[in-house]
Chains A and B, each alone.
Chain A
Amino acid sequence: MAAPLVLVVLVAVTVRAALYRSSLAAFISERVEVASPLNAWKRVVEGLALLDLGISPYSGAVFHETPLIIYLFHFVIEYAELVFMITDVLTAIALYLAIQDFNKVVFKKQKLLIELDKYAPDVAELIRTPMEMHYIPLKVALVYLLNPYTVMSCVAKSTCAINNTVLAFFILATIKGSALLSAVFLALATYQSLYPLTLFAPALLYLLQRQFIPIKLKSKSFWLYTMQYAALYLCSLVVIICLSFFLLNSWDFIPSVYGFILSVPDLTPNIGLFWYFFAEMFEHFSLFFVCVFQINVFFYTIPLAIKLKEHPVFFMFVQLAIISIFKSYPTVGDIALYMAFLPVWSHLYRFLRNIFILSCVLIACSFLFPVLWHLWIYAGSANSNFYYAITLTFNIGQILLVSDYFYAFLRREYYLTHGLHLTRQDGTEAMLVLK
């Protein structure tokens, strides 16, 4: 399996290197879909320039990266392109190894459930075979590396790629079962962009499952493990934040980074829903709706945890998708990460209802984004509503895609336990509805 992976990596690196040397690199770096005020490379360079002038990068409103990024790029700024190519490759390799391990776990669990007779007798075609699961890790790495969104994100040198790498390592650590590393990487991811806080729940559920601790609220071992994991996570977070303090000897970065993410003062257009909403919001309700929109990202966690407690990795996928859609400054780099997981659920294809139209919507919107941006900003013949409309359509497409996969997943679970050929009481073929 290593050889095809190496081949994929080489192809990906070649594509990126070719794009770096072409004239498209400048064009892609300027695109608002790829670079947001939080992760644009231009702003990293600006922050380092301000530091050279002796001014704190956080004294203005241009730089919103964490101090660890300053630390990192202070030394490797000359090799920035190489750094971003390496991060992409590391993400792909981490996902490859994680999915490989995950498939083994899935297969073992499936075997256990078959032996325990938990499955209905006629679901043979739904059972997954090692043959079919063999190429999934490679497909995941391929989808991540050669996804146009990832390529554009890498060529634009958006620090979203670094966030994706940290998240990929977090997923790898979780699936391998190491609570410490999982907590450390989750703390790093939360430190950089705050929203991965919601991934605490699926990681905890997975680790509990791996330790064979039952998820019961009365169980003492459950609470003990939860407390341990939470303590590891919080301590790593505190350590990282204190390290950041010592870079510039000030806490200025907290309002500049986290205050910025939460209060959304910069209304630069992007592919998300926040910018136009707050550009057109009545001043009186601004704070209320900022709170509503931020709570919207976090409040799906508990219900999903209750419903998907047996399937924490799917929970993680759905949570990642919700973060990418509803975060305050989304970019296509965030979408690329959850899309990399889609091959893992390729066995759900027969239950997906709208996959064709949704993929058409997503592809069409991706092409329309730069067109309508040009018409608004450069040609002056369209106005902001056009770009906003495509934003809405794109987000609806993503939401329906994720909920379609969720529906297909739940439906397959139902069939597994109740049998594929359902009959009504009178013997005729039955329809399955969600009631």
Chain B
Amino acid sequence: MLAAAALLVLLAAGPGRADTGRDALREELLLSPLPAGDVAATFQFRTRWDADLQRGAVSHYRLFPKALGRLVAALGVRELHLALTQGFWRTRTWGQPPLQAPAGAELWVWFQPTVTDVDKAWKELSNILSGIFCASLNFIDSTNTVTPTASFRPLGLANGTDHHLLRYAVLPREVVCTENLTPWKKLLPCGSKAGLAVLLKAERLFHSSYHSQAVHIRPVCRDASCLAVSWELRQTLTVVFDTFSSGQGKKDWSLFKMFSRTLTDACPLASESKVYVDISPKNKEKELLEVTPPPTSVLEAVVQGDKRTYAVYDLLSPSLFNTSRSLNVQLKWKRPQESSELPVPILHAHRYVSGYGLQTGEISTLIYNTHPYRAFPVVLLETVPWYLRLYVHTLTIITKGKENKPSYIHYQPAQDRRRPHLLEMLIQLPANSVTKITIQFERALLKWTEYPPDPNHGFYVSSSVLSALVPSVIAMKDMDVEQSPLFTSLFPSSDGSSYFVRLYTEPLLVNLPTPDFSMPYNVICLTCTVVAVCYGSFYNLLTRTFHVEEPSRAGLAKRLANVIRKFRGVPPL
């Protein structure tokens, strides 16, 4: 019996902490009122696991979801970023985005150097993710996958960056809905039952101007000496509510108004659970707004070149739930705000398609640099499907009326039905300028089976990606990753003087000429008839010879006509 007990203890302790490693969950919510009256809520759930997924020695998963862990191990994934977005982040009115994603589904993956057939692994990966997230990611194939050379650098640990290990694909037509949110929530350690995730109710989240949910997996250093690798899974969800129109003209908002839920407790598995509310004074006026209940602490940080103040609610601190069982953060504006000028973000862009008719067109991208005195370069990545044939000799880049030559240009022309166009350029944006990039294209006529079910809706061109290190006006100090993971992941800065921004432009909707879909049989018959006319005429001329006509017995019709003529007394035919 003692031996049995010892065996039981051994079994229980066997697959114990030794090979699973420590894992930790941090959940954060950032609420920031946007200049135009909307409120942006960014959730981030960060699970960090000190285990080496690559070696495949892991069998016990605790906080890290098994589906994703097995995926990373089996397919040799080094970094994975998947975003499902509905709506478009309006940089011009909402400011620089914390984490932008293009409309539709975006997937970019860095594979390990040990992967021999990257395309095969990519295909398998997109199919597996399609199953996990109930999204049609299986439509990712070679016609919408590109290998960018400069725009997407690894965000985690990297040992050399051979860009052939990177794959990037966007499905602009993808729609995000509840069936994509549910599996995303299921990957959270507490699900949607405790902690910040209780706010994630589908009927409120999709009643918004912008909804983006993302999954990021990357390897990070375990500690300062970086001798071992930990894996970090970040699940982020950004949603923008238009409280102005739904709040009867008042810009006050509260958690209950936005999410129709309040926070009751922190997730028991989380080591940190915080809510940040951006209470930065606008135009140096303090006391303009009031936040209830009073925050646990106040944090000041320089974020995206701006000094900002945040009210912090720590859900794990016992003092928070003393007065009431639930936490409903409310923000009230003390004075009605005078309509002030919207602050213009330093970098924003706008893309549109011009031209008329279904034969040709032109894609124009306008990039604005509103910094008063600093110029900086931006990397522009454009992926255009193969059926819009780009003509790179028509590419013009004009800044302030003069031609602006890009210092690096990588162009990979499309191959029909095999791969899309890839255009990557490094463009220097002078201070306080507008740069216009135009390129002409021709629209192709596709085979009738290649059109989507509603062909006259048009074809989507995925957003172009602008990556830049934007110089900030105020010096920023490096944030410690452990202290405020939200800020380092949402607002990373490589050095104190500039911060990294990735912007996406609008997706385009382009019409293509369509054949008549009801006509395949008719077309085949008519064209074959024309070919047969030629064949018939030539056959006659080649195989027959001229003869003098022999008199033949009159046909039936002629004889009948002659009979009638005899009755009438008219000479016969």
Show the binding face of A for B, using Cβ within 8 Å: 30, 32, 42, 45-46, 48-50, 53, 55, 59-62, 265-269, 273, 275-283, 293, 296, 300, 303-304, 306-307, 322, 325-326, 376-378, 380, 383-385, 388, 392, 395-396, 399-400, 403, 406-407, 410-411, 414, 422, 424, 426, 430-435
Contacts and interface: CB of A to CB of B under 8 A. Distances in A.
A46 to B, nearest CB: 5
Contacts of B360: 30
User: Most chain-B Cβ atoms within 10 A of its Cβ — which of A45, A293, A399, A411?
Assistant: A399
A277 B358 contact: no
Interface of B: 356-360, 386, 389, 391-393, 409, 411-417, 444-449, 513-516, 519-520, 523-524, 526-527, 530-531, 533-535, 537-538, 540-542, 544-551
B414 A403 contact: no
Contact of A267 (B389, B446, B546): B446
A386 B307 CA distance: 64
Given A400-B537, A434-B540, A276 B359 contact: no
B392 A49 contact: yes
Contacts, number: 164
Nearest to B418: A61
Contact of A392 (B530, B538, B547): B530
Contacts of A431: 548-549
A434 B524 contact: no
Q: Pick from A45, A280, A396, A430 the residue with the most CB of B within 10 Å.
A: A280
17 contacts: A46-B393, A55-B413, A59-B413, A62-B413, A276-B527, A280-B519, A281-B524, A283-B447, A300-B538, A304-B538, A322-B534, A392-B527, A406-B537, A414-B545, A424-B550, A433-B549, A435-B547
B440 to A, nearest CB: 9
A82 B334 CA distance: 76
Contact of A377 (B357, B444, B533): B357
Residue among B358, B446, B537 facing the most chain A CB atoms (10 A cut-off): B537
A393 B516 CA distance: 18
Contacts of A59: 412-413, 415
A283 B449 CA distance: 8
A422 B547 CA distance: 10
Given A30-B360, A432-B546, A50 B413 contact: yes
A384 B531 contact: no
B520 A60 contact: no
A432 B549 contact: yes
A320 B312 CA distance: 83
B534 A399 contact: yes
Given A276-B515, A280-B524, A325 B546 contact: no
A78 to B, nearest CB: 15
A307 B545 CA distance: 10
Contact of B447 (A279, A376, A433): A279
Nearest to B517: A280
Contact of A277 (B359, B527, B547): B527
Given A49-B392, A60-B413, A403 B445 contact: no
Contact of B534 (A46, A378, A403): A403
A429 B530 CA distance: 36
A62 B360 CA distance: 14
Contacts of B389: 61-62
